Amino acid sequence: MIASSWLLVAFPALGALILLAGGRRTDAWGHLLGCATVLASFAYGVALFFASDGKPTDTTLYSWMPVADLQVDLGLRIDALSLVFVLLITGVGSLIHIYAIGYMSDDTDRRRFFGYFNLFVTAMLILVLGDNFVSLYLGWEGVGLASYLLIGWYQWKPSAATAAKKAFIMNRVGDVGLALAIFLMWKHIGSVSYTEVFAGIGDVDSGVILAIGLLLLLGACGKSGQFPLQAWLPDAMEGPTPVSALIHAATMVTAGVYLIARANPIYNATPNAQLAVVIIGAFTLLLGAIIGCAYDDIKKVLAYSTVSQIGYMMLAVGLGPIGYALGIMHLLTHGFFKAGLFLGAGSVMHGMNDEVDMRKFGGLWRTMPITFVTFGIGYLALIGFPFSAGYFSKDAIIAAAFAQEETWRAWVFGGAAVLGAGLTAFYMTRLMLMTFFGKRRWTELKSEDGRDFHPHESPPVMTIPMMILAIGSAGAGAFFVFNGQLAEWLAPSLGALQEAEHGVVPHSAVPFIVVGISALGVLLAWLIFGRREIAVERQPVGAVVRAARSDLYGNALNEAVFARPGTWLSRALVYVDNKGVDGFVNGLAALLGGSSGRLRRLQTGFVRSYALSMLVGSFLLVGLLLMVRFA
């Protein structure tokens, strides 16, 4: 059973191959094949889940990059952690694939869309199943490719093309971090496989371990949209909504959390890297929540909510053995409710002629009752309404943040997490009120072909996945109530979940604080957006909102520090290369050779010029040589 685990990857890989290489011939049934392959993987995953005891079993498929003493295999690890991810990816993935049949029904390239979607599932499964860091890297950049292709799905829109490119490049920055971490492992431990790297940590200098931890964190920040590499994720909403749900909410963006949880033996050995993870998590959860309060674009709000929620997960896995399982727990519940919320948002857009501006929604609960109810359940789960999925998973993280040994850390990070909960309640309530409640603010919709267009509920192929995810959002909580069953299951991969013993705030008080703060957030949102009319036009705003709407100037910073100087440098060097390196040589030759006109006409001129250029090159070389030797 476990020996054939490659089948998990093979199904969607085959699907992608057939759909992308088959071309238009597969148009008629492509979407069905796309769903079937993911469902097959899901079924196999479920069977594996029951057959496995959660202990790591590595299966080597074949030797991938063997060079002298370097052994890099393409291998799969089946253990508690990877199986949980397999179920999330293929389970939620199947639902979103089915939803996409409806959502993409008007797109003439729907078959290609499913090809990319299958490609994504393949890469994501390789990422979580790899039994060494290079296999993980294969999946890691593979999902980056799928994400690039799908963000840029509407590639004729310049904004979509730019967003896709931005996502890939910012991810590449993170990927360099991951790559350098792997190089360090090879240099100091002499292996890239999980088993040997984790076993060899004890013998390595602590500075090296710290460096590995920080470089892995850089990789995690890129993939998971964490500060300072968060700016690509909101732009990624240019992709079709099922993409946002699957890749940019439920699965791919949580890969950073997976990486840190997977590398837990490394982080356990380096408290300073752990602290860095916690700081990034706490900072990003606030950053995302603050910006989420300001946007009017429903998908952007959800995107920043994702940034913020992943901040919670990072915070959790940065806490070490008291947090790893909690981070994964929140990752799972978030996978359910955020996927549900995105599908709901997609359903709203589907019914509203692709409008995303919440100021032009209002009162939609009447016209889209199923969307309203399923979205509402996701909303309650996200703000942590008592006994919903988010209530259990988020509260546990906040309690753990308060339970750190050092008091200042407990107050700072616990406080940030509580504040984030309040902000979450505020922006999500705002979103609910603006979208589903109040008076209708939409008028006279016209579709592209000029027909009248009335907001309507989506077809069953879309609403049924939404209902299942809503049930998951509500019910997944119950799964965790039974005394931390998930944590127990994950113990073989992450170590036993240590109970936080002491805390600056009593453990039992945490739920009350969180619910109280969240209630405050809801109330505030209602006072501002529920009682009053919402203007359809943009209103003048204060400095804080303006800053938040500018993504707290994250993009401006990137632009000023990297993009613009980069462009200048490139232009300047092109000039130097054309005029300088060549021109210098030509000019010098002209000076020495007399007439520059003669030089251009005669080949002898060429000879002199090139001979001279060689000479100049040689002088440069000798000069460098002297510098090197006497340095």
Partner 1 sequence: MTLLLAIILLPLVGAVAVAGLRANDRLATAAAFGFSLVTLALVAPLWLSYDPDGARLQQTSSIDWIPPFDIHISFGIDGIALLMIAVIGVLVPMIIGLLGFTDKLPEGRSAGGYLSLILVQQSLTIAVFAATDVFLFYVLFEVMLIPMYFLIGGYGGKGRQYAAVKFFLYSFLGGLIMLAAAIGAYVHAADELGTGTFDWETLAQVVPNAPLTTQIWLFLGFFLAFAVKAPLVPFHTWLPDAAGEAPIGVAVLLVGVLDKVGTFGFLRYSIPLFPDASKELAPLVLGLAVAGVLYGSILAAGQQDMKRFIAYVSIAHFGFIALGIFAFTAQAQVGAVTYMLNHSLATGMLIIVIGMVIARGGSTTISAYGGMAKLTPVLAGMFLLAGLSTLSLPGTNSFISEFLVLLGSFETRPVFTTLATIGMVLAAVYVLWLYQRVMQGPVRGDALLGASGGPGAVEAPETGAKKSVRDVSLKELGVLAPLVVLIIGLGFYPKPALDVVTPVVDQTVSIVSTASDSEGSNE
Give residues in contact with partner 1 (CB under 8 A). 20, 23, 62-70, 74, 134, 137-138, 140-142, 145, 148, 152, 155-158, 160-162, 164-165, 168-169, 172-173, 175-176, 179-180, 182-184, 186-187, 566, 569-571, 573-574, 577, 581-582, 585, 603, 606-607, 610-611, 613-614, 617-618, 620-621, 624-625, 628
Relative orientation angle of helices 158-188 and 206-224, to the nearest 10 degrees:
160
Nearer to partner 1, 259 or 317 (CB): 259
- The residue with tokens 């940019």 is 248
Minimum distance between the CB of residue 120 and partner 1, rounded to whole angstroms?
A: 13
The Cα 71–Cα 67 span in angstroms is: 7
List 59's β-bridge partners, or say none. Answer: 76
Nearer to partner 1, 11 or 283 (CB): 11
Nearer to partner 1, 508 or 603 (CB): 603
Closest to 130 in 3D by CA, of 60, 187, 38, 179:
60
Alpha helices in 231-270 (DSSP H): 232-235, 241-245, 255-262, 264-268
Q: Residue 593: which residues within 8 A CB-CB, separation 6 or more? A: 599, 605, 608
* Amino acid of residue 417: A
* Amino acid of residue 57: T
Nearer to partner 1, 21 or 543 (CB): 21
Q: What does the angle CA 242 – CA 246 – CA 250 come to, to the nearest 5 degrees?
A: 140
Minimum distance between the CB of residue 58 and partner 1, rounded to whole angstroms?
A: 19
Minimum distance between the CB of residue 557 and partner 1, rounded to whole angstroms?
A: 17
Minimum distance between the CB of residue 42 and partner 1, rounded to whole angstroms?
A: 24
Minimum distance between the CB of residue 410 and partner 1, rounded to whole angstroms?
A: 36
* DSSP per-residue letters across 343-387: HHHHHHHHHTTT--BGGG---HHHH-HHHHHHHHHHHHHHHT-TT
Minimum distance between the CB of residue 45 and partner 1, rounded to whole angstroms?
A: 23
Nearer to partner 1, 557 or 622 (CB): 622
Nearer to partner 1, 94 or 135 (CB): 135
Minimum distance between the CB of residue 126 and partner 1, rounded to whole angstroms?
A: 9
Nearer to partner 1, 46 or 169 (CB): 169
Task: Report whether 380 contacts 337 (CB < 8 A).
Answer: no
Cβ count within 10 A of residue 372: 22
Minimum distance between the CB of residue 175 and partner 1, rounded to whole angstroms?
A: 7
Nearer to partner 1, 258 or 372 (CB): 258
Nearer to partner 1, 191 or 429 (CB): 191
Task: Report whether 56 contacts 77 (CB < 8 A).
Answer: yes
Cβ count within 10 A of residue 577: 11
Task: Report whether 612 contacts 585 (CB < 8 A).
Answer: yes
Nearer to partner 1, 121 or 315 (CB): 121
Minimum distance between the CB of residue 116 and partner 1, rounded to whole angstroms?
A: 11
Cβ count within 10 A of residue 621: 10
Residue burial 11-29, b: 16+ Cβ < 10 Å; e: rest: bbbbbbebbbeeeeebeee
The Cα 144–Cα 151 span in angstroms is: 10
- The residue with tokens 């790297």 is 197
Minimum distance between the CB of residue 486 and partner 1, rounded to whole angstroms?
A: 31
List 357's β-bridge partners, or say none. Answer: 297
The Cα 9–Cα 496 span in angstroms is: 29
Task: Report whether 209 contacts 238 (CB < 8 A).
Answer: no
- Which tokens is 56 given? 């790591």
Alpha helices in 56-157 (DSSP H): 80-103, 110-129, 133-151
Nearer to partner 1, 191 or 224 (CB): 191
Minimum distance between the CB of residue 420 and partner 1, rounded to whole angstroms?
A: 31
Nearer to partner 1, 160 or 490 (CB): 160
The Cα 421–Cα 556 span in angstroms is: 27
Minimum distance between the CB of residue 212 and partner 1, rounded to whole angstroms?
A: 13
